[in-house]
Amino acid sequence: MPKDSDQCEGGGDKEAKDERRQEASEETVRKRVRANTPSPHRGNTPQASPPRFVSMEELMETAKGVTNMALAHEIMVNQAFQVKPTELPEGSLERRVKEIMHKAFWDCLEAQLKEEPPSYGHAIKLLAEIKEALLSFLLPGHGRLRSRIDEVLDLPLIQQQAENGALDIGRLSQFIVGMMGSLCAPCRDEDINKLKEITDIVPLLKAIFSVLDLMKVDMANFALSSIRPHLMQQSVEYERNKFQEFLEKQPNALDYTEKWLEETVKCLKESEAAGCSAASSDSQLPLNVHNHAYLRLLRWDHTSDPFPETVLMDQVRFQEMQQEADQLVLLSSVLLIVYTTAGEAISGLPGLMETLKNTVGVMLADMHSPSFSLQDALATVGEKLCVELSQCLSQHGFSPFSADRSSILKGQISATVQPDNKVRKLMESRVQSYLLASLESSQHQTPPPLPGGLVPVSRELKDLAVRFSRLVNFNKLVFSPFYQKILQEILTSGEVPSKET
């Protein structure tokens, strides 16, 4: 029996999204496995380096190590990560070859069983594989089940029965189906019931192997969920060691990370020199530099700037968080404009804030899709909110919106399409400040206070901050030795005293 159906790949509850995330992570990391790339020197000056020839074996070994690191990372940071059966693309050559081979195997088995006398060579091999699979599902305490399987699926005895014409494969198949029903997850009960309805031996054996493959997936996911809480330290050390091995083979594998941290230090120095209130005398502390560096990932230009190598496996996650933050900024900006324009008349009306928030949120849900027109959407938002506000004011005994106030409200909402809009920039600054404060307070387990104007989106913002902090803290655990060395060199070369964090 071909065993290629036993192979599995990663997935999640949100299968399409998680699959895209994992594939993008692994593919992006593989693209950074460069055998001969000149290393950009600090100050963006190209630095010539001698060519280094890498054998195919070294390249394949490096790619395998990076892929394993990406898989281990996905298991840790993606709580919804699950194993799922491999689905070959419809019409692909590999799928066609697999189908042809499987059909040939089952046709051969059927022909052997129809011989006079029947030939049980292939069937006994299948029973041995089934027995091995059933035993693999047993836990240490399943001694009675193990004895029962060994007793019924006694291969030497089965071989003797086949030689003497006394083998009853139908009886053995029914025992196997019953045992599978005892060991499977509740979600497989329907599949087991379907097996009980099959009477022909070959289709039954074929279906048994299909369900066994699903049970192996279930067992793998159960094992993952059981050991995930205990994997943190091992995963940190594993990823760090794998990256160190990769770095030894590719010495320029931290170029973009160095550039990322250097530009962060430069931005902090400029803010401090300009007397920005966000800057402080501690702005050049390594921990502060590091937190600001992570915050910059939520404003990253993914189309032109290469992502730092140490956060490359999470690029898709950071990009998703960046889009969430942008949407929260625009949503809070529109709501702030509405409540500022409408005044005290609507400030105490129960349920109005949530209604307006849901209305705006639905219209901006796809704001990052290529075909989305933000300008048209904001114009529609303005029209819709004016209608809802007028109806709400009338219901509560207030005079409805005048034409002038409606025009002003629509204009102010439409103006937020510009990134430099004052209200939008204000809310963006507050969202960024809250996320930065979340990183700084994560060590103390005390959530930071919510800035003004963000109360309507507090639930979504807090959820984003928790996920952002978890991802950042895990990345710090893995790559902290590399970051410390880079920051020490940067801060020392810039004649900035490096204090211990």
Domain ranges of the chain: 93-224, 255-492
77-98 pLDDT per residue, tens: 777 777 787 788 888 898 899 8
Tell me how far the alpha carbon of residue 282 is from its chain's centroid. Answer: 34
Task: Give the pLDDT score at 100.
Answer: 92
Confirm if 69 and 239 have CB atoms less than 8 A apart: yes
Output the six-digit token pair for 110: 């059927």
Residues of the chain with confidence (pLDDT) below 70: 1-69, 274-284, 344-345, 442-445, 494-501
* Residue the block writes with tokens 């933000």: 374
Give one DSSP letter per residue of 256-267, joined into a string.
Answer: HHHHHHHHHHHH
Task: Give the pLDDT score at 213.
Answer: 92
Mutual angle of helices 315-342 and 374-395, in 10-degree steps: 40
Which of 2, 113, 69, 15 lies closest to 309, judged by CA?
A: 69
Task: Give the pLDDT score at 88.
Answer: 82
Q: From CA 315, how far away is CA 22, in angstroms rounded?
A: 10
C-alpha distance from residue 111 to each of 105, 116, 205, 385 (Å)? 10, 10, 14, 73
Q: Burial of 388 by CB count in 10 Å (0-12 exposed, 13-18 middle, 19+ buried)?
A: middle
- H or E segment to which residue 46 belongs: strand 45-47
b/e per residue 38-60 (b: at least 16 CB within 10 A): eebeeeeeeeeeeeeeeeeeeee
Q: From CA 496, how far away is CA 268, in angstroms rounded?
A: 12
Task: Give the pLDDT score at 377.
Answer: 92
Coil, strand or helix at 34? coil
Q: From CA 417, how far away is CA 414, in angstroms rounded?
A: 6
C-alpha distance from residue 137 to each of 9, 208, 220, 357, 490 (Å)? 20, 15, 10, 50, 54
Three state DSSP letters for 55-93: CHHHHHHHHHHHHHHHHHHHHHHCCCEEEEECCCCCCCH
pTM: 0.70
Tell me how far the alpha carbon of residue 464 is from its chain's centroid. Answer: 14
Task: Give the pLDDT score at 242.
Answer: 86
Q: From CA 152, how far away is CA 154, in angstroms rounded?
A: 6
Task: Give the pLDDT score at 295.
Answer: 94
Confirm if 381 and 338 have CB atoms less than 8 A apart: no
Q: Which residues contact 194 (CB under 8 A, 6 or more apart)?
A: 207
Q: From CA 154, how far away is CA 131, in angstroms rounded?
A: 9
Task: Give the pLDDT score at 16.
Answer: 52
Q: Any idea of the CA torsion for 350, 352, 354, 355, to the nearest 10 degrees? A: 140
Q: From CA 306, how far away is CA 254, in angstroms rounded?
A: 12
Dihedrals φ, ψ of 244, to 5°? -65, -40
- H or E segment to which residue 10 belongs: strand 8-12
Coil, strand or helix at 425? helix
Q: Burial of 446 by CB count in 10 Å (0-12 exposed, 13-18 middle, 19+ buried)?
A: exposed
Which of 230, 96, 119 lies closest to 167, judged by CA?
A: 119
Q: Which residues contact 3 (CB under 8 A, 6 or more apart)?
A: none
Q: From CA 419, how far away is CA 415, in angstroms rounded?
A: 9
Coil, strand or helix at 47? strand
Which of 38, 58, 57 lies closest to 48, judged by CA?
A: 38
Q: From CA 153, how far away is CA 148, in angstroms rounded?
A: 8
Q: Which residues contact 142 (CB under 8 A, 6 or more apart)?
A: none
238-270 pLDDT per residue, tens: 888 888 988 888 888 899 999 999 999 988 888
